[in-house]
Structure 1
Amino acid sequence: MLTTTPWTRLKSRTLELVIGLGLLLVLITGVVYPLDDTVGPAADGTRQFQGRTIALLPLGGSSLYQLRIPDPDITERILLILPRLAEGLLLIVALAHLFRLAQTFRTGDYFTARNTRRLRVIALTLALIGAAVPALSVVTTQLLIDGSPLMPAAWITTYYPKLSIVLLALLVAAAAEAFRRGTHLRTDTEGLV
């Protein structure tokens, strides 16, 4: 254990505050707002037109083509927000583990098995955000297209993984491996002293 000064404790508390505020922001914008859109008068991506609710869903990865769903029911509203909601929930998991990791900085106890697990969970959730959420978006869009006049056109949507987030997940996984080796080295040297 390292001796901590008031300055290092202040830096640690500031980092925890920033991560906590980010967690709250993601909770509000990534979970609460989409859920409110589902049960509220207009779902995410909907517009009011001549007194009717019309859901607008971009197709093909751009806003050039849009599927219009007049008066979406609850199932269609859930399908509209599901990718955004999944991404918000996964971000909350990653930020919660990052917050727990930042709490260990106050004590100076970085290289622990718990921090290694936390980094692995963060890497996994980032990989899911980068690869699985876009796939979920394709599936939900296709489910919305089924039963519409566009149905004979088969798969209109295209899978675009977020490669920068997948790369970030790989970097966090590499950091987790470095923490694992640091933990192993720490236990070896503690046995020598």
Structure 2
Amino acid sequence: MNTSPWYRVEWDRGDNTALRVVLGVGAALVAGFAVLSPLLGVLGVTGQDGAGRTVPLRGAATVAGSGGGDGIALNGTSQGEVTFAHPDLAQRALLALPEFFSGVLLLIVAYLLYRIVRTLAAGDPFVPDNARRVRAIAVTVLGLAILRPLLDMITTGQLVLGTAVEDQVSVEATFSSGPVLLGLLIAALAEVFRRGTQLRADAEGLV
């Protein structure tokens, strides 16, 4: 007869190791492609000429090639690609900032998930720290969903300010409902963890 408390989770060492490996690989990919790569691009270490960003347009783009000699080009109709032939340090930083910001937040999520996985090894996920971690993940995901589009808007505005394409680029923030709903779902899960922790404490108090 199994006498383990209801809140104990059957989680063997193989499951725990596999999940840690998946989280580790995911964190490494995020660190490499979304954090380190943009940082190296800002520093000019990659040695690649030309950089750009997809932007919404007010109409069909009419500036192409060198863009009047300032090294900027814009091509597209309702949505286009603004490119810089030889971006300077400030332009590289503005281009990389949104991606770098997203990468850092995703690394925070990966770290919090890793801490939660460690508690699964003990078979007891319903601990106060996990409730706080899941709540922090929800806040991070919501922050990514809201702040990333705003950061795209701000940096795009600065990139095209005073250039030949300024009047054609629509500087606006485009929000997606998917990440917002995901953040709210994780927030609901955090409440489940909190209630589970409370029920566990009540059950132990009756013993």
Q: Shared fold by TM > 0.5?
A: yes
- Cα distance, 1:42 vs structure 2: 5.9
Aligned counterpart in structure 2 of residue 10 of structure 1, from 6, 10, 14: 14
Residue 42 of structure 2 corresponds to residue 38 of structure 1: yes
Aligned mates of 1:71, 1:164 — CA distance in 2: 35
Q: What value does the CA root-mean-square deviation take over the aligned residues?
A: 2.4
- Which protein shows a greater Rg? 2
Aligned counterpart in structure 2 of residue 66 of structure 1, from 62, 65, 81: 81
Q: TM-score, normalised by structure 1?
A: 0.85
Residue 200 of structure 2 corresponds to residue 186 of structure 1: yes
- Give the structure 2 partner of residue 50 of structure 1: none
Counterpart residue identity of residue 94, structure 2: L
Aligned counterpart in structure 1 of residue 96 of structure 2, from 63, 81, 92: 81
Residue 153 of structure 2 corresponds to residue 157 of structure 1: no
Q: 1:171 to 1:89 in 2, by over 3 A?
A: same
- Cα distance, 1:9 vs structure 2: 1.7
- Cα distance, 1:21 vs structure 2: 1.2
Residue 33 of structure 2 corresponds to residue 19 of structure 1: no
Counterpart residue identity of residue 194, structure 2: R
Aligned to 1:161, the other structure's residue is in SS state coil
- Give the structure 1 partner of residue 68 of structure 2: none
Count, aligned residues: 183
- Cα distance, 1:39 vs structure 2: 1.6
Report Cα offsets for 1:92-111 as digits up to 9, x if no partner: 00010001101100101111
Q: 1:4 to 1:65 in 2, by over 3 A?
A: closer
- Cα distance, 1:55 vs structure 2: 3.0
Aligned mates of 2:172, 2:82 — CA distance in 1: 14
Aligned mates of 1:184, 1:4 — CA distance in 2: 17
Aligned mates of 1:73, 1:147 — CA distance in 2: 15
Aligned mates of 1:104, 1:31 — CA distance in 2: 28
Q: TM-score, normalised by structure 2?
A: 0.80
Q: 1:146 to 1:4 in 2, by over 3 A?
A: closer
Aligned mates of 2:45, 2:190 — CA distance in 1: 44
Identical positions, percent: 34
Structure 2 unmatched ranges of 5 or more: 58-74
Detail structure 1 runs of 4+ shifted over 6 Å in the superposition.
1-5
Q: Which has the higher helix share?
A: 1
Counterpart residue identity of residue 20, structure 1: G
Structure 1 unmatched ranges of 5 or more: 48-52
Counterpart residue identity of residue 25, structure 1: L
Q: 1:117 to 1:104 in 2, by over 3 A?
A: same
Counterpart residue identity of residue 17, structure 2: R
